[in-house]
Amino acid sequence: MKKEYLIKQYKNTYQKSPTHIIRAPGRINLIGEHTDYNEGFVFPIAIDRYTNMLVSVNNDKKVQLFDLKYKESDEFDIDFIEHSKHLKWSNYQRGITKVLKDSGYKIRGMDVLIFVEVPESVGLSSSASVEIATLLAFKELYELNIHYMDIIKLSKKAENEFVGVECGIMDQFASLLSKEGHALFLDCRNLNYQYIPLSIQGYSFLICNSMVKRKLTESSYNKRRKECKYALRAFQKILPKIKSLRDISIDDFERYGSLLSERLKKRVKHVVYENERVIQSYRDLLQDNIESFGKLMYHSHQSLKELYEVSTEELDLLVQIGMNEPGVPGARLTGAGFGGCVIYLVKDSCVEQLKEKIFDVYQKRTGFTPQFYKVFPSSGAIVEKI
């Protein structure tokens, strides 16, 4: 969305000019799913779809919000923040304001116009992009002295404690710290990260939205987290030194996995082997070994489907179509699962053919008209003074 247009909308709404515009991107995860909250590895890239937030201070203790897409407005008092039952989108801003206040940061009100381009509820992290944008807005307007790691951690805290999704740290990390043309290899235990140049010349990442909105995501997601906790406790009885599922080696798993219930065994197997796949992907991408990386994407999907059980028939069909088409070395669901999007690694010369095939087969079989987004690995959030 054009900046000039957004500024005009801001002026119409608040009868004054904004002082800053913040753009925080959504993300796709190339590989490493449901590993972040098990202190494992992830490999996201930010995408060129943003939450745009135009802001200026007000002399009040109120945050005023206008959402351009929904044409809805809201306001809340920063000293008295409750959940909004009707306007779910405003809970992200409420959550961020609350965690900042509770952490002792000195903030007052702001007037906000928000326009979220990141497709929502389809696994592309629109929520993290709103959280990061809101936090950066307060930081800029009130000159908060806040380290970038704390921006990430507080955003995650808002999602965990206020919104109620027990997410890991990947999405907020990717939205703030990604680098154009690179993937972000992140160790979710010590938060060390490395940028890996994505030299996949002749190939692109294509996102296909299955148009199945994630159902029961919050509760199913939180359920998976609990299962991991139970599995960890069981494993700690045998291997007392382990601190998270990340510490379980393939050998440990093969030796002791059968002591777990069938369900927990499947969850752990996914996490253990998925971490290995991320490390192998890191090596593959450093060596431009696209075919090998693509295979790992397919394996990851298989594991999410059969072991972690977060896929859907629609996502499986989309991945299957990729597997049967020429020029598609890899495909998998991205994000939490339970609906949402599939990412394809696809030869540029085969993109159109793949899309046609998907339109044809997917639409016929499911009745849904898929949406496509060709994405470019982008930089993390930026703040601009107007």
State the Cα–Cα distance between residues 203 and 184, nearest whole angstrom: 18
State the Cα–Cα distance between residues 261 and 234, nearest whole angstrom: 10
Number of residues that bind ligand GLA (CB under 6 A): 12
Per CB under 6 A, which region of 17-25, 27-35, 64-72, 320-328 contacts ligand GLA? 27-35
Binding-residue pattern over the window 58 to 87 for ligand GLA, x denoting contact by CB under 6 A: ------------------------------
Indicate if 171 belongs to the active site.
yes
Whose Cβ is closer to ligand GLA: residue 34's or residue 265's?
34
Binding-residue pattern over the window 325 to 364 for ligand GLA, x denoting contact by CB under 6 A: ----------xx----------------------------
Does 39 sit near ligand GLA (CB under 6 A)?
no
User: Checking DSSP bridges between strand 182-187 and strand 41-42, what pairing results, if any?
Assistant: antiparallel
Q: What is the DSSP letter of 103?
A: T
Shortest reach from residue 34's CB to ligand GLA, in Å = 5
Per CB under 6 A, which region of 30-38, 267-275, 320-328, 357-365 contacts ligand GLA? 30-38
E strand segments, 58-109: 62-67, 72-77
Total number of residues shown for the chain = 386
Torsional class of 146: left (φ above 0), alpha (ψ -120 to 50), beta (otherwise): beta
Q: Considering 36, 171, 247, 284, which one is annotated as catalytic?
A: 171
Counting other chains too, the contacts that 261-266 makes at CB distance below 8 Å and 24 or more residues apart are 263/227, 264/227, 264/230, 264/231, 264/234, 265/231, 266/306, 266/307, 266/308, 266/309
Q: Which of 335, 340, 346 is nearest to 371 (CA)?
A: 340
Among 14, 24, 31, 34, binds ligand GLA (CB under 6 A): 34
Binding-residue pattern over the window 131 to 170 for ligand GLA, x denoting contact by CB under 6 A: ------------------------------------xx-x
User: Checking DSSP bridges between strand 182-187 and strand 193-197, what pairing results, if any?
Assistant: antiparallel
Contact residues toward ligand GLA (CB under 6 A) are: 29, 33-34, 36-37, 125, 167-168, 170-171, 335-336
